[in-house]
Amino acid sequence: MKIFAFLFSVFFASSLLAQSEVGFSGIYNFQTESFGIGGRTILREKKLIQISPQLSYFLPANKINEWTLGASAQYKFFKRKKIQSYTLVHLGYNRWINYESSFMKEARLNNWNAEVGVGVVFGKKIKPFVEWRYNTRHQEASLHVGLLFNKNSFKGKKEKCAAYD
């Protein structure tokens, strides 16, 4: 039974990775005037609805020092050649490290966040993206700008053989 579970896990993980992208982003929160960094994986990259586990971290030099671990569901509503637009819903666990210095009455170390937003992705292999999000709990907006990489990002173009042209 352990062998079956292991083989199933390997098969499941490899099928997810075969149709996934990974990326990173810089983040700016407009209300707190804070900069952060983020990482993400896009599962089911070629599908209409995608799932994206994400991690973000706002640096200690900011007014707000926190990290968030969550996942987004993204719905592609526009696709034309190398441009894709999508809407998203993001749910995440938030750890607000310096909450004690906040003037907010309900400031806490552990929080749950819900965000809605829209994004645009450009390209086929290395994909720049821009995403605007609104945090419904803290009523703040943020901008994510980054790059996504898929399994073909660093493969060169195939050379054509003159004999087959």
As beta bridge partners, residue 15 has: none
- The Cβ-side half-sphere exposure at 128, using a 13 Å CA radius, reads 1
CA-to-CA distance for 34 and 144, rounded, in angstroms?
A: 12
Q: Which domains does the chain have, with CATH numbers?
A: 24-153 (2.40.160.20)
Q: How confident is the model at residue 33 (pLDDT cuts 50, 70, 90)?
A: very high
| Residue-wise pLDDT tens digits, 117-132 | 999 999 988 999 999 9
CA-to-CA distance for 135 and 162, rounded, in angstroms?
A: 56
In this predicted structure, what is the pLDDT of residue 7? 46
Q: What count of other Cβ atoms lies within 10 Å of the Cβ of residue 26?
A: 12
CB 58 within 8 A of CB 35: yes
| Residue-wise pLDDT tens digits, 3-32 | 545 544 544 554 455 668 889 999 999 998
Q: What is the DSSP letter of 67?
A: E
